[in-house]
């Protein structure tokens, strides 16, 4: 095993307090052992005992996945690179399963399949697949059944409750290139079948995985693989990926995994920072539009309002959300916490994260031109300040 792999602690049991203190707040990875998924329905339904085998190992039961054969899923061809990703298309899962059963399609990787959302839309419950481990229940990005709640839907005009719960299925050798997760979120990933090899690179230490100033696609192209933390995730284990950590993942066996991107109050500074970076990129990419608006309305005229609106619109399309979605998410989750107090940060700490984000947001020049967003921010602040102390 790699010399640095000790940096990823493995737990057979962990309390929420330890998870919060040593991993959420310090932003460090961890692994939960296979006992955390042993009772999942998928752990029983999707595995066949393989033989002969030196260790206890399983093969994927592709027939069990056939019940989802009608789901149209994203499929990456990991033998064909396309810019910073692989070539992708969408097809009914049935077609990919048929290829695999015939021993073909060994480079195809079903990625970002919204299995759990589709199961819910079909009127069933996600417990036919899994159960979210307790320490990950304070999840501000996947509000689950609250999406159907009218009050939440009112605060969901900008797609903040899009689904970030995925299933990944692919043969040995398929892989996910070097990347970090969307929005500055955390993620967790559970191997239901098979083992994966992970390479981790902490934030702010990425020179070793760059070539000509650009991040490499596949760290295996580099001498010493960029010196990252390399760790094997065994079948049944769950890995926690901290915010902003780059990672690459290789399927060592035929793998089926469940992955969530998630956020909670300790993620707010990372989400905030990531949104500022995305906004700056959008502003730079359409600086010509800014000049056009300024010419039309005059540099001393009311150009900023139109410019900010333009930037927020593009940000929502490009990055998936803007300030409106960010504050809607905070409002919704502070009003209706997704997890009980025992599985969430203490109220005072959560308030501290939110109030700091309010302070920073109000210092952004764009915030002067977003009256509807500011109304939500004012609501959030008022709710915190008027709440009785615990
Ligand atoms: O399992 C994979 O191929 C990728 C998983 C991943 O990158 C993640 O969960 O963040």
Ligand 1 atom nearest to CA at 248: 7
Say how many C-beta atoms besides its own lie within 10 A of residue 60's C-beta. 23
The CB of 191 under 6 Å from ligand 1? The reply is no
How much is the pLDDT for 6?
67
In this predicted structure, the answer to whether residue 148 has a pLDDT above a threshold of 90 is no
Q: Are residues 32 and 79 in the same domain?
A: yes
The ligand 1 atom nearest the CA atom of 247: 7
Q: Are residues 218 and 169 in the same domain?
A: yes
Average pLDDT over residues 53-80: 91
Question: Ligand 1 center to residue 250 CA distance, Å?
Answer: 9
Domain match, 256 and 382 both: no
Assess whether 319 and 200 both reside in one domain: no
Where a domain ends, among 220, 246, 262? 262
pLDDT for 144 equals 61
Q: Are 52 and 168 found together in one domain?
A: yes
Give me the pLDDT at residue 50, please: 78
Range 273-285 average pLDDT: 96
Q: Return the pLDDT at 104.
A: 98
CB atoms within 10 A of CB 38: 10
CATH number of the domain that residue 132 is part of: 2.60.120.650
Per the confidence metrics, is the pTM higher than 0.85?
yes
Q: What pLDDT does 170 receive?
A: 98
Which residue among 213, 237, 262 closes a domain?
Answer: 262
Q: Which of the listed residues 262, 280, 297 is the one where a domain comes to its end?
A: 262
Percent of the chain clearing pLDDT 90 (strictly above): 86
Q: Residues 234, 358: one domain?
A: no
Question: What's the average model confidence in pLDDT over 33-50?
Answer: 95
**What average pLDDT does this structure show over 24-44?**
97
CA-nearest residue for atom 1, ligand 1, is: 249
Quick one: pLDDT at residue 53? Answer: 66
Q: Where does the pLDDT of residue 17 fall: very low under 50, low under 70, confident under 90, or very high at 90 and above?
A: very high
174 pocket-lining for ligand 1 (C-beta < 6 Å):
no
Of 87, 244, 77, give the one whose Cα is nearest residue 170: 77
Contact between residue 140 and residue 338 where contact means Cβ atoms under 8 Å apart = yes
How much is the average pLDDT of 154-163?
50
pLDDT of residue 54: 65
Closest residue to atom 5 of ligand 1, CA basis = 249
Do 280 and 304 have their domain in common? yes
Q: Are residues 120 and 72 in the same domain?
A: yes
DSSP string computed for 280-347: HHHHHHTHHHHHHHHHHH-TTSSHHHHHHHHHHHHHHHHHS--HHHHHHHHHHHHHS-SS-GGGS--H
| Helix ranges, the chain (H) | 16-19, 41-45, 62-65, 93-101, 115-121, 150-154, 268-285, 287-297, 303-319, 323-335, 347-362, 371-386
- Ligand 1 pocket member 116 (CB < 6 A): no
Q: How many domains does the chain have?
A: 2
Give the pLDDT mean for 255-277: 97
pLDDT at 5: 62
Residues 29 and 100 both lie in one domain: yes
Q: Do 187 and 214 reside in the same domain of the chain?
A: yes
Instruction: Give residue 313's domain range.
Output: 265-386
Q: Is the pLDDT of residue 299 over 90?
A: no
Residues 300-335 have pLDDT tens digits of: 888 999 999 999 999 999 888 999 999 999 999 999
> Residues 249, 269: one domain?
no
Q: Are residues 228 and 307 in the same domain?
A: no
Q: What are the pLDDT digits (tens) for 176-213?
A: 999 999 899 999 999 999 999 999 999 987 999 999 99
- 71-77 contacts at long range (C-beta below 8 A, 24 or more positions apart): 71/113, 71/115, 71/118, 73/110, 73/113, 74/110, 74/111, 74/112, 74/113, 75/108, 75/109, 75/110, 75/111, 76/108, 76/109, 76/110, 76/111, 76/174, 77/107, 77/108, 77/109
Residue 158 has pLDDT above 80, yes or no: no
């Amino acid at each position: 095993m790699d010399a640095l792999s000790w940096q990823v602690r493995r737990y057979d049991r962990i309390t929420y307090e330890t998870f919060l203190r040593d991993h959420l707040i310090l932003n460090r990875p961890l692994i939960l052992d296979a006992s955390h998924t042993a009772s999942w329905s998928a752990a029983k339904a999707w595995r066949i005992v393989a033989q002969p085998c030196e260790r206890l190992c399983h093969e994927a039961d592709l027939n069990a996945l056939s019940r989802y054969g009608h789901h149209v899923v994203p499929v990456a061809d990991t033998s064909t690179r396309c810019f910073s990703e692989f070539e992708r298309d969408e097809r009914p899962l049935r077609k990919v399963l048929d290829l695999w059963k015939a021993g073909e399609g060994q480079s195809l990787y079903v990625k970002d399949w919204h299995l759990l959302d589709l199961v819910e839309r079909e009127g069933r419950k996600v417990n036919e697949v899994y159960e979210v481990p307790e320490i990950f229940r304070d999840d501000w990005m996947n509000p689950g059944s609250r999406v159907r709640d009218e009050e939440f839907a009112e605060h969901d005009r900008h797609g903040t409750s899009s689904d970030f719960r995925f299933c990944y299925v692919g043969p040995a050798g398929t892989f996910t290139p070097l990347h970090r997760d969307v929005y500055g979120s955390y993620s967790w990933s559970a191997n239901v079948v098979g083992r994966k090899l992970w390479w981790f690179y902490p934030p702010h230490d990425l020179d070793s995985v760059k070539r000509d100033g650009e991040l490499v696609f596949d760290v295996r192209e580099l001498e010493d693989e960029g010196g990252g933390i390399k760790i094997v995730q065994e079948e049944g284990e769950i890995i926690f990926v901290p915010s902003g950590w780059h990672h690459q993942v290789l399927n060592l066996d035929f793998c089926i995994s469940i992955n969530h991107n998630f956020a909670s109050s300790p993620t707010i500074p990372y989400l905030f920072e990531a949104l500022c970076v995305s906004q700056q990129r959008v502003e730079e990419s359409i600086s010509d539009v800014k000049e056009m608006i300024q010419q039309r309305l005059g540099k001393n005229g009311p150009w900023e309002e139109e410019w900010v609106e333009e930037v927020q619109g593009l940000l929502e399309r490009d990055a998936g959300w803007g300030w409106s979605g960010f504050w809607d998410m905070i409002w919704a989750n502070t009003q209706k916490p997704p997890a009980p107090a025992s599985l969430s940060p203490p109220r005072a700490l959560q308030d501290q994260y939110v109030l700091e984000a309010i302070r920073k947001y109000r210092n952004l020049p764009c915030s002067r031109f977003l009256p509807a967003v500011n109304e939500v921010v004012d609501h959030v602040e008022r709710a915190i300040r008027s709440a009785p102390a615990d």
